[in-house]
């Protein structure tokens, strides 16, 4: 479960046996989460899996039933730790009768900042105009999200906890926020982001945590995920047993696995045409073939369908 047992990188977030119970329902169960400093941590889970509850506990909005939270090595209830985080949980918390700038000034006052120019700069950074006279209640969903992100960035926090930050944004907005996150990450900020848009998350995340029914079923780095989601060339043949032997003889450098009664998966193959021709020349009927890339979505769904689905799949292959 740990990202790295000998991790020399200090942790921005560390939870130990974090548990949240609502009466008899366990929303988060014995969670040991580790978010290294400087990471973009993608937090993935189905609706009701416990993502928002976890993020709320990290932000001090919900009380853990059991366990500990440490932010930058300090207990989460420490005012010093609280100053280092910015959060956008569920919806953007904004006063509807105030303008974007007034909302920003409100949060500035809440933090104790006096420089109003910083608020203007952040509005510009997130694609909003500081001079916009419209009240927040007339904003589109996307504008509200942008304002929510700008509010989270006030006070120059080191850790940003964003719950569904790209909800309601148009494709251009999604790209802008993605670029903003990457830019801020390069400046040293740590991100903990939950999102259902897994494709987007996979473009920026350096680390992943998968939660299922309150249990953190997996934590892994991007490299590990890429290994797990390795590309393969699939080929559907009439005689997979003989085809497998032929492939292993022809290309001993690649890994070949039988997926089911007629399909083979070849890992490490760069070009498929030669392989098809070789099999046909050896009187193997090839019904279908092509390259397959397993993205985060598939991986996530496989993990969600049951713990260790990938492992189960691999075990099945070895029996064929």
Partner 1 sequence: MFNLLRMDLYRLKRTKSLYICLAFLLAMTILAYWMTWRFQDPEGLGAGEMSLALQSTVETLKNYDLLMMFRDSGIDGGVFTTITGILAALFVSLDFSSGFMKNIMALHRDRWKYVASKLLTAGILNFVFLAALLVYNLLVNTCFGTLVPNSAVDSLAFYFVHTWTVSMGFSALFILVILLTRSSAMGVAAVLVLGSGLGQTLLLNFTALFHMTEWCDYTLYANLAYGPVRYSGMADWKGAVVGLVFSAVYSLLGCIVLTRRDI
When binding is defined by CB under 8 A, the residue of 13, 62, 119, 284 that contacts partner 1 is: 62
Stretch that binds partner 1, among 43-51, 59-67, 237-245, 281-289 (CB under 8 A): 59-67
Return the closest-CA partner of residue 41 out of 188, 302, 222: 222
State which residue, 106 or 180, has the beta carbon closest to partner 1.
Answer: 106
Q: Which two tokens stand for residue 102?
A: 């007034």
State which residue, 32 or 78, has the beta carbon closest to partner 1.
Answer: 78
When binding is defined by CB under 8 A, the residue of 39, 87, 247, 279 that contacts partner 1 is: 87
CB of 99 to partner 1, least distance (A): 9
CA separation for the pair 192, 173 (Å, rounded): 19
Q: What ranges make up the beta strands (E) of the chain?
A: 11-22, 25-31, 34-36, 40-45, 66-71, 74-75, 85-88, 159-163, 190-194, 207-212, 215-221, 232-237, 255-258, 263-267, 286-292
CB of 11 to partner 1, least distance (A): 19
- Distance from chain centroid for Cα 41: 6
CB of 61 to partner 1, least distance (A): 4
For residue 165, the number of C-alpha atoms closer than 13 Å in the C-beta half-sphere is 33
Count of residues that interact with partner 1, criterion CB under 8 A: 34
130 touches partner 1 by CB under 8 A:
no
79 touches partner 1 by CB under 8 A:
yes
State which residue, 114 or 318, has the beta carbon closest to partner 1.
Answer: 114
Pairing of strands 85-88, 207-212: unpaired
CA separation for the pair 96, 139 (Å, rounded): 9
Interaction pattern, residues 153-172, with partner 1; x per rule: CB under 8 A: --x-----------------
Stretch that binds partner 1, among 31-39, 60-68, 215-223, 226-234 (CB under 8 A): 60-68
State which residue, 159 or 284, has the beta carbon closest to partner 1.
Answer: 159
Is the dihedral angle over the CA atoms 264, 268, 273, 275 positive or is it negative? Answer: negative
CB of 31 to partner 1, least distance (A): 17
Return the closest-CA partner of residue 273 out of 291, 258, 294: 291
When binding is defined by CB under 8 A, the residue of 35, 100, 143, 151 that contacts partner 1 is: 151
63 touches partner 1 by CB under 8 A:
yes
CB of 270 to partner 1, least distance (A): 49
State which residue, 77 or 277, has the beta carbon closest to partner 1.
Answer: 77
CA separation for the pair 186, 289 (Å, rounded): 41
State which residue, 43 or 208, has the beta carbon closest to partner 1.
Answer: 43
89-128 residues near partner 1, rule: CB under 8 A:
89-98, 102-103, 105-107, 109-112
- Collect all residues with Cβ–Cβ distance below 8 Å to 243 and sequence separation of at least 6: 235, 237, 264, 279, 284
Is the dihedral angle over the CA atoms 184, 190, 194, 200 positive or is it negative? Answer: positive
State which residue, 13 or 198, has the beta carbon closest to partner 1.
Answer: 13
60 touches partner 1 by CB under 8 A:
yes
Mutual angle of helices 116-125 and 141-153, in 10-degree steps: 130
| Residues in touch with partner 1 (CB under 8 A) | 56, 59-63, 77-79, 82-83, 85, 87, 89-98, 102-103, 105-107, 109-112, 151, 155
């Amino acid at each position: 479960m740990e990202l790295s047992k000998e991790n020399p990188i200090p942790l921005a977030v560390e939870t130990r046996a974090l548990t949240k119970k609502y009466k008899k329902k366990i929303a988060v169960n014995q969670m040991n989460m580790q978010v290294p400093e400087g990471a973009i941590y993608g937090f993935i889970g189905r609706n009701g899996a416990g993502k928002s509850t976890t993020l709320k506990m990290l932000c001090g909005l919900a009380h853990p039933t059991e366990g500990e939270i440490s932010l930058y090595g300090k207990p989460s209830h420490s005012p010093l730790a609280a100053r280092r985080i910015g959060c956008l949980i569920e919806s953007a918390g904004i006063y509807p009768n105030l303008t974007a700038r007034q909302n920003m000034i409100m949060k500035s006052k809440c933090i104790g900042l006096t420089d109003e120019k910083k608020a203007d700069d952040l509005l510009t950074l997130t694609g909003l105009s500081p001079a916009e006279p419209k009240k927040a209640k007339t904003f589109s969903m996307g504008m509200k999200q942008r304002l929510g992100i700008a509010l989270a960035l006030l006070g120059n926090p080191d850790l940003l906890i964003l719950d569904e930050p790209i909800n309601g944004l148009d494709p251009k907005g999604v790209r802008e926020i993605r670029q903003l996150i990457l830019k801020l990450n390069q400046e040293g900020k740590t991100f903990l982001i939950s999102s259902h848009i897994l494709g987007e998350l996979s473009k920026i995340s350096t680390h992943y945590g998968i939660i299922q029914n309150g249990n953190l079923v997996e934590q892994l780095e991007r490299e590990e995920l890429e290994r797990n989601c390795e590309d393969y060339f699939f080929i559907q043949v009439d005689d997979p047993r003989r085809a497998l032997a032929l492939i292993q003889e022809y290309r001993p450098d690649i890994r070949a696995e039988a997926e089911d009664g007629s399909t083979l998966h070849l890992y490490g193959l760069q070009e498929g045409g030669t392989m098809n021709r070789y099999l046909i020349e050896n009187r193997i009927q090839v019904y279908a073939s092509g390259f397959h890339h397993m993205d985060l979505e598939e991986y996530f769904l496989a993990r969600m369908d049951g713990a260790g689905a990938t492992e189960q799949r691999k075990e099945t292959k070895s029996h064929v």
